[in-house]
Structures are given as structure tokens and as C-alpha cells.
Structure 1
Amino acid sequence: MQEDFTVKEAYGRQLLERYGQWLSRIEHVDQEELEAVSREVNELLADQDGALHTELLKQIGQLRDKVSEMLWMSEHMKILHDLSHIFAKTYEQKQILWKAFELVSRVMRADAFFIAFFDEGDCEIQVPISIDSGINYGPLTIPYGQGMISKVIDTRQTIHIRTMRDEPSEPEMIRWGSPEIDTNTCIFVPLMLGNQMKGVISVQSYREFAYKKEHEELLKIIGFQVASAIETARLYERMYQMSFQDELTGIANYRAFHRDLEELLSKEDSSVALIMLDSDSLKALNDHYGHHVGDAMIRRIAEAMKAVAGKEDTAYRYAGDEFMLLSPEATKEEAEEKVRAIREYLRVRPLVHDNCCIPVAVSVGIARYPQDEKTADGLKRAADEALYRSKRRGKNCTTVYAIG
């Protein structure tokens, strides 16, 4: 009897030591280990002590679940903070999408992952990022109207496939990538901005039953952040491009001119002809007919330059009624021919106001890089000097810059 008590007492001490070890690393306690000890306790301690230990084991399991949930929630909050921080600093869509994948992978299994975008009225769905085992198989384009993505777009409801045994009859629409292994758990969440449907975000695992309801909720929040960030990035891109476009004529502006000229001159062994063009009668037209006719003349000159510009050429409204045309690799003769074509365009298309034809005349200066100047500023000064000579010669003529 004394021996039995001693064995039970020793076993009890062993259990207490194990409990202490578990409590020091509670989030790592394995459920199978808990169940094995519980069975062992039921076999060796069938009395009141056994019941107390069983209850203690149950409480340790509950504590582990709560700590694990708190740790998961902590990581959940951290990922949302990190996403907000990253998205606030970048307008690059590719970076936004890849960072979303990286951060989602920190809080849930993401063996496969994609984000799809859809604009109402489109017949196709754009999938810019589709990752399987770390490889991006995007961008992809799929038809609208079939598969899981279209179903989520139509219903605006999350779809959670917990096992492939529940999978619908269109497996090819679940994911893309390596056919050697397929995913077993999939979550498809609609990307919503207010009441607007923007697309679908999906995370998938090779394991069955890999996700819980909490993962759905987290993916919804992440999806909203991604949709907001992409919408902001697209708006920024439109505004950025507009900052290089002249509002009145629709051609590029002086910011675009300086950007493009520096880029052209940075290329090895590059050459470019700069055609600088100025109207001869803007002030007179504004004074006599009004500014609306002056604006019409500016637009007509821009039309002529766009019509004449070659595939590699770019026309710019630099300021007021001053225009630039950059023509890479053009010879002096080719630049002069472009100017003649511009004059001919304007000759056969005069402005018409109150049944009166108003001719549009221009003065032009031409300079070339690197023949005339070796820098962007020098090239612009040379073309400007040639244009000034055209003005002094009586306007409506062309001057090619000549050193000395």
C-alpha cells in the first residue's frame, strides 16, 4: 500500500513537472501530447486525483488555445499595420500585390495565392498575380462568366472550400501553376470598395481544413486594403501621366519634354534633332478675334505636329504658342522635311472664323545633338537661337542652327 502511494506520488510529481514545462511554452503544446497524457492519467489515476489531473489537462488545453488565438490576433494586427504602412509609401501596383502575398503568408498558409481584378461591364478578368509554391504565374486573363472567381463576383459572397471532396466541378478555375500538386483548401473573398466590386482575393493550401473563420475575416480586411491601395495607385498613375500632358492640346508638355530629352541624351551613341516652333500671330489673333480663336490656332499647330510626327517622334507644347518636336536619329534634311510637312498641313487647313479664313504661320529653329551641342540645355539654346534668327528674317521661315 505504501509502495502504491509512493508510485502515485512520484507520478504526480512527474505530471506537475510536465505541466510546468508546458506552461513555460504553452503556445507550443501539442494536442496529441495532451490527449496521450490524459489517457495515461485515466489508466494510472482512476480516483479523485485522476479527475483533478484530467480537469487540469483540459484547462491547460484551453489556455493553450487562448494564448495561440491571442498570438495569432497579435500577428493579425501587426500585418494590418504593416500593410497600411507599406501601402501608404508606394504607388507601384506590382509591389503592392507582392507585399500583400508576403504578409498574408505570415499569418496563414499560402501555398497558392492570387488577386483578380474586374471592372463592371468587362468580358475578361485580369489576374496580375497568381502564385503557386512561390512562383508567380501571372499576369493572366480569364473569361468572365465561369469558375469560382466569376461566382464570387456575381454573388459578392465569400466561398470557403475546406476539402477537395467538396470541390465544384471546375477545378481548373480554382488555381493555376504546377499540375503536380493541387490545393485542398481554398478561400475566395470579394474585393469590395464600398458597394463597388473590384475583384477577388484568394489564399489556398495543400492541406485539408487549413483555414478557420478568422482567416476569412482577415482576408476580407486585407482585400479591402489591397483594393484601396490599388485604386489609389491607379489614380496616382493617371494624375502622374496628366502632369506630363498639355490640357489644351492633348500633346505632351514642357515637363515631359525635359524628361524625354534627358532620357534620349543618356543613351549611348544617341542623336536627336530638336525642332522648335513658334506661331507668328497669336497676340494679333487674341486681340482681333478673342482668345478662343487663339486657342484654336494653338490646337491646330498641335494637330499638325502630331500628324507629321514619325513613330519615334514626340510633339510638345512647351509654353504658350511655343512647341517642340524631338526626332531621334533624324538628319538635318529629314528635320527640314518634317517642318515643310507641318507648314503644308497648316496651309491646307486654315482656321475659319465668321466665314473668314485665317492662315496659320510659324517660325522654326532646328538644332541637332551631338552635332551642334553636347548637352540638353545647350541643344535647347541652339534651337532657340535658330528660331530667333527666323523671327528676325521676317517670320514664317526655318533656320538650321550653324556654329559661328
Structure 2
Amino acid sequence: MKNPSGKTLPQQGGIEHSLLDAVLQAFRDVLEQGSAAKGLPDSLEQNEQFQELLSYLAELQNFAMALSNGDLSQTLHVKGKVAGSLKNLQANLRHLSWKAKMIAQGDLSQRVDFMGEFSNAFNSMVASLDEMHRELRESEQFNTAVINNSPIGISVRSRTGQLLFANEAWKKIWAIPEADVLADKKRNRSDLVFDARDEYLQPHHKELRQVYEHGGHLHLPELHTIHPRPGAAEWISQHFYAIQDEYGRVDRVVVLTEDITKRKKVENAEHEQRVLAESLRDIAAALNSTLDVEHVLDILLANVGRVVPHDTASIMMLEEKEKVYVVRERGYAERGLKEKISASYFDVSGMPYLKKMLESAQPVLVPDTSRDGEWGARTIAQVSSYAGVPIVQKGEVRGFINLGSETAGFFTPAHLERLRAFADQAAIAIENARLYEQSQGHARQMTSLYQIGLSITSKLDRSQIFHALYTQIQQVLAPNVFYIAIYTKATHIIEHPLFYDSGELRNVPPRDIRKVPGLTGEVILSRKTIYINDALNPGSVKNHQVVHIGGKSSRTYVGVPMIMRDHVVGVLSIQSYETNAFSAEQVRLLETIAAQAAVAVENSILFDQARQEIKQRRSAQRSQQKVNKEMQERIKQIEKLEAELREQAIRDVLTGLFNRRYLQETLEREIARAIRRKQPVGIIMMDIDLFKVVNDTYGHKAGDLVLQALGDLLKTNLRAEDIICRYGGEEFVVVMPGASIETAQERAEFIRHEFEAMHIPFENHEIRATLSLGLAAYPLHAIGGEEVLIRADRALYHSKQTGRNRLTVYHDNIRMPLPKF
């Protein structure tokens, strides 16, 4: 028998069974309990080889125990296969321990290949750790990129406020260079304090201390930073989140900072725009409710302060080329300047910025008057900051709005833009007043035209017609000199049946225009209106043959031809002792009167001729009894001629339609008939749009063709019972007995469309025009003929006012056009 070292145990033949048991028990004690064998027989105790075997087993057992306890430092001195295996195991365990240490240090590339199934499990575990580490690293990189690229500023501070981390957005929001961020991270704080940059947080110090010391969350939605760095946010929103450790103590605080400067600026701009819109709405309401310019300007100045704060304000109007006066002011009385500013006119040339606005029609801004060399002592009030805008109307400066502040640098370009809107409103107020005055003047002219037409068409006696013309023209145009010249083409002689100079009737001898044409002859021969704004000007004397018949010399001359059936029958003239005495609108009015006068003159000539012929015929009848029968026939012809003359008196010569006189005679009769029959009556009033442009562009002959075309269209497309009248100038009226409002409206629209589609040939041109129409009806809109006509006229003006070329059915909301200056 050999021991594990290869030595042979002593042979003591006949070993008893009890000895064998003792040997086995000794092995168990060594291998199981790690203790020396006890109670061995003396023979075994004294046997060196046996004791060496037990020592060998004990060293193996202690070495294995050390390995099992993780002690890899032991040295095994014995030899043999078992000892070699244990040493190999120790070496493998040492290598595995090194591998584990490398893995613990982050080297997850380590693998083992010497331990069989354990190696596979170990390598699988390391591979899993490597994958988890890689995913963790990618997640960390992603989170870091998200934080750094976030538009929200993210910072982490200690519980004492020391900066631990800040992303790029945070640095950008605060405009802090990297060096300052690093310095902030290195600074130690013993308690929660705020530095200069955190001054905006002082009002919330108590709430913040609660978060930093006890945890929780705080949201401050709108914070206005105080004295920010250049480029830093002016408005921010911040969230504070406390992070606590496992003991519930605040470890750090995460701060989310959002730059809301742009949003706040937009909100502020929206607020300012809303205030501006409300102010302009109030002014617009005033404009719509009153024509009192001063009242509107008071409201305007009151609202300027809501949008552009100021200490003083004034509105100035231009009276002459470079003279202004203050019409409204605010703030001057409190500064003792009320009398100074309201005293008199101011010379624009002495006020550089008013002159600049007058010349450029652009606003002026002087942020700091103390630094401006042009700001002189001649200004109305000494202010530190000035803003002014011109009141511009149709490209012409009519006045100024001036604002002053006692704070230097107060006004900005944004203030000027807002102030422009108020200047526009002021221009509208002034324009409305001008329109109102113009409308009143137009109404007066229309009344005069009506009276003139009524006067001259109701008379056939020439002298009565001429005196009626003079009376009406004197009321409307108030000329110093007025005359009517009658022209006989066959003899080229002009006569002046009426010539008034300063209210006195003068006798002017006839003359041959071939010899002495004068201005009257020039009008007749040119067939055009002549307007001379200064007859004594050398240029006028050179270009025109001015004939003086005594008395005071006229300066302004207007001569208008009276044309009938393409023949000049005379001239209407008004004159003034002043230069530029008559406006273009007044000249147009005289042209309209001349057209009516031409009809009256022609009728009077026909009437005189007929009356003279009757007189002659009757005288011949008394002297020649033998031709009595023949004379009776002639008398019938003359009586027929009288009837024709009567027809001519109620007919418009140019269009063949009834005239205004006939309308006045028949309108109330038709209304009375409608009342008896319980039927409606529709009245359509129409006016050719821009008829003056046709006359100016193509001449009065073309205008006559347009009037005749409209007359023919009406006669062709209206019912036999409808009464069609030329009301005057380019105005026509149609009375439709028995027509409902719907029928009248349908006919009116048909006429408008047909007229719009017409092409009226004239020489080498085709003339086109449109109609504006107004419709009213009995008894829907009024119960009297004149009242219905007035409402149709108002509806017509509404069509004109709202764009022309349209039909308006009268309704109660129709207003007359706003007045014009």
C-alpha cells in the first residue's frame, strides 16, 4: 500500500479490523474537521510514514479551505496530483480575481476560457454587463445631449445656491461667458444667498428658501430681470425643483429657466395695439356721430395720451402758407403757457421742425432737445423730448400734432408710428368738415338750378326769362357783372338784351363780331367756355381781345356759350372785380345754367316769331276779307303751332322727353289718380355718371349724343303709360303709374344694364357711360308726389356716394353725402 506521495506504507500482516477503523477515523478527522487524529493506536502514533500521510492530508485540507474562503495567498508545499490540481485551481482563481478586478474597473472586454461551464457563465455575465454598460453610456450621452441642446435653461445648484451644472441654453439666457460659469462653480457658499444677477428673485426670497431648505417645487411664471447683461433675457419663467437624499434632506435644486422676452414683447405690443385700436375706435365713433371738428379734435387729444404718454400736446392748423395757429392743446395751462400758445399765429419759418414737416410731409423726432442744435429758443414750450407728425390731406400738409415730454430721450420711433394714426384721424375730421360744407354748397346749387329751371321754363317772354336768370345767378354766384348776349348767325350781330354792372342795368349797343369780336365773339366762334382769372394781366390782354365798355374794369371773366341744336344762340357771362373769383365748380354750374337758358331762349324766339306771325296774319285778315277762308286755314295752322309751342314748352328739345315743368304739372295728378285707384306709383331718378368727363373729353356735342341715346333707350324700353322726363342736365326721372316696387326695380336694373352695354359712336370714338339710379314709391316710402321724388333723389345720391353705376331703393338709413370743403 502506498501513500499519496508514492511511499509504501509498512506491511504489518494481519492488521486487525479495529486498526483499520482507527486509520479511517483518523482520515475523517483530518479531512472533515481539519483537526489532528485522536485516540490512535500507539502503532499508528509512532509510525512516521502514517503521520506524514496525515500531515499531507491536513495541508491539502487547509489549502482547500483557504481557497474556499477566498484566500488565494496560501502556499501549498506538498506535491502530487491532488496538490497540483489545487495549485492549478488557486492559479485559476487568482486569474479570475484579476479579471473581476479589471471588470470592476470598467474593462468589460475581459473573458475566461479555462474553467469549462463556469467560464461560459462568467463570460455570458460579463457580456451582459458590457451590453448594459454600453446602453447606459448611450443613454447618458443622449440625456446629456438633450440637456445641452434644450432651449430651456437647465442648471443645478447646491442647497446653498452654489452652481453645480449649467447647460448651454442657461448660459445663453444669462449671456454669461464660460469663465464666469467656472468661477461660479468654484465659489463656496455657506448659506443660501443671492448675488447681483439674482436681484430679480429678492421678492420671492422666502418662497425660495422654503424650497432650498425643506424641498418642494416653486413656479415663477413671469420675472423681469433687473439690469441684465447685454444680450441677456429681459423676461424669464423659472421652475425650482428640490432633489432630496435618502434621509429627506435637500441635496440639490434643479432650476429650469425659459426666456419669455419675445412673448412678453409680443404681449406688450398687442396690448399697445389694443389700446391704439380702442382709441382710434373712439375717435371713429366721434367722427361718425358729429361733424363738429373741434369736438372730434378734443376726443383725439384725450386718446393720444392713452397710447403715447406726454406732458404737453397741441394741434396746429395752417392758416396761410407759413402761418399756423393752435386749435387744441393739453398740458400748457398747468405750465403757465396757455396764453402764450393761444395768443396768435406762429411763423413756421421760425420753428425749424414745423418747417421740416411742412416741406417733407414726414414726422419729426427729437429724443433729446438739449443735444439738438436746431432746437431753438423760439419754440412754444421748452421740452426735453419732442415728437411731431404732420396732418396730411390729399398730399398737402394741413396742420401738425405736437407732443412734448419733460424727460429727455422719452419719445421713440414707435411713438411716431402710433401718432401717425391720430394724424390720419385728424385729417379725416377736417376732410369731413370740408365735405359737409361742399355738400351744403352743392345742395344750394341744386336748389338754384331747380329754381332757374322752373323760372325760365315757365315763361315764354324773353325779358322775363332773362331777368329770372339774373336774379337766380346773382343769388348763387354773386357776380359784379352779368350779361346775356344773343347771337344772330345770319348777320353775325350780337345784342345784349340784359347787361348788369354792379346791380345797374346798362345799355350796350349791338356789334358785328366779324369786326369787333371781343371776348363774347371769341366764346361764340370757339363754342367753348372761356375763363380768365385776371383780365388785366398782360398775358391775358395779349391772348384775348378784351373790349371795355366803360365803368370799372373786371378782373375775372367767365363766358359760356348757349348752344341749341348745334347752333350757338348766345353767351352767358359773369365777371368779378377780383382775380380768381370763381371756382371750377362754379364755372360748371354756369355751364349747366347756360344749357337750360339755351332751351328757354330758343323757345322764346319761337314764341316771339309765332306771336308776330299771328299778329301779321290777323292784320291781313282784317284788310283782306276776300281771302277770309284762306286766312282761317292759316289761323288754324298758327293755332296748331301754338299747341306745338306749348308742347315744346313741356318737352326737352334735345331728347324729345318731357321736361321738369311737365313733371311738376303731372306728378301730383298721377298720385291723386293712384289714390283713387288704390295703385302704387314708382319713381326712378337717374343720373349719368361722370357726364362732365364726357363733355370735357369729347365736347358738348358728344355729351348731347349721350343724352339722346339715354332718352331713346328710355322711350324704347318703358311702358306707354310711363312718364319720362329730362329733369335737368344729365338727370332723368321716370314716373311709373301702377308699377309695384319690384316691377320698378326690375325695369330700373334693366335700363342700367342696357345703358352700360351701349357703345355710342362719335367721330372716331365709341363713348360708354354708366347710370346711378335711385328708386322710391308711393305709398311705400311717402304719400306725396314731391316727397316720393325727394326720396328717390336721396337714393340716387346714395348710389353716387357708394360707387356709382348702381341702383338704390330708398330706405330710412340713407344719409346725404358727407360735406366737403
TM-score by length of 2: 0.22
For CA contacts below 8 A with separation 6 or more, give which structure has more relative contact order.
1
Task: With the length of structure 1 as denominator, give the TM-score of the two structures.
Answer: 0.44
Which structure has the larger Rg over C-alpha atoms? Answer: 2
